[in-house]
Structure 1
Amino acid sequence: MAKEVVYTQRVEFGDCDPARIVWFPNFFRWIDAASRNFFVQCGVPHWNETEKTLGVIGTPLVDTHAKFIQSASYGDVLDIRVSITEWRQKSFVQKYVVERRNEGGSVDTIMECEEVRIFGGRRDGEKPGIRALPIPPSIRALCE
């Protein structure tokens, strides 16, 4: 079973559109924060440190698929459950399940998302940008 980390986000008034529904790009902002939090909770050092030791500057997104199931609104507390469901040679699949905690203890699933990310490193030479690096075994060991 994959390691799971929960990131909690409270929905604020400014996160919503005039209909009081969370504006959908905010979910992707929160998921990105939950992704980094996953690595922090697993013990992966800050990206500044991994750049020095492994050449890894972060985990850029290369593909995403989302399914919105219910809406969320101002005052909701959302738990974003994060896990890595697949390790590939130079990429990995991160899964997110966004849930709302209700009074009385029930939980509603708000959104499900899968992203493909890479461990990015700086390109050598004249061409600027990043490149996909092989999955660092030390990071994988921390996250399994």
Structure 2
Amino acid sequence: MEYTLKVKWGDTDAAGIVFYPNFYKWMDEATHEFFSAIGYPTDDLFREHIALPLLEAHCEFKKALEFNARVNIQTTIVLIKEKVFTLSHQFYCEEQLVAKGYEVRAWVSTANGKPKAVAIPEQVTLKLHQQEEGEKNDK
């Protein structure tokens, strides 16, 4: 799945390059876009008392990005467990890898007021595996 954005002035620091926390914000945005693309928009999940909290995140920076740069984020599922999954995010600018990272998230029910990790539903797991296989076949 691909998500494209344009670096805004407010995304940069005093040196004129993207302030690093923005990469984490963009990984989060790409995750929401990813779930919409596979038919499970996170706002719908939220109304159904399902959340996808972040358990771990990491980003490795390869090249600085500046104001007005067009960034393409390629998001893929790399690991699916019973209640937890990992997404990989690769950031490209003009076809050059500028950063890469990952997020580990859980499938959580908030129905009883207290968040509790629950098994990812079979139909969602199937969609995630289909996306994973599609990405492997594209390579």
TM band (smaller chain): 0.7 to 0.9
Instruction: Say if 2:29 is the partner of 1:33.
Output: yes
- Pairing of 1:94-113 with structure 2 (within 5 A): 94-101=87-94, 107-113=95-101
Match of 2:38 in 1: 42
Aligned residues with identical type, % of pairs: 26
Tell me the distance in 1 between the aligned counterparts of 2:5 and 2:73.
8
Which whole-Å deviations, capped at 9, do the CAs of 1:33-80 have from their partners, x for residues lacking one?
Answer: 10010010111144435643xx42x21100112111111010100001
TM-score normalised to structure 2 length = 0.85
Tell me the distance in 2 between the aligned counterparts of 1:50 and 1:74.
33
Match of 1:104 in 2: none
More helix by share: 2
Note the aligned Cα RMSD (angstroms): 1.7
Give 5+ residue unaligned stretches, structure 1. 102-106
Tell me the distance in 1 between the aligned counterparts of 2:103 and 2:73.
14
Larger Rg: 1
Tell me the distance in 1 between the aligned counterparts of 2:46 and 2:114.
17
Give 5+ residue unaligned stretches, structure 2. 131-139
How many residue pairs match? The answer is: 129
SS at 1:38's partner residue? helix
TM-score normalised to structure 1 length = 0.82
SS at 2:82's partner residue? coil
One-letter amino acid of the counterpart of residue 11, structure 2: D
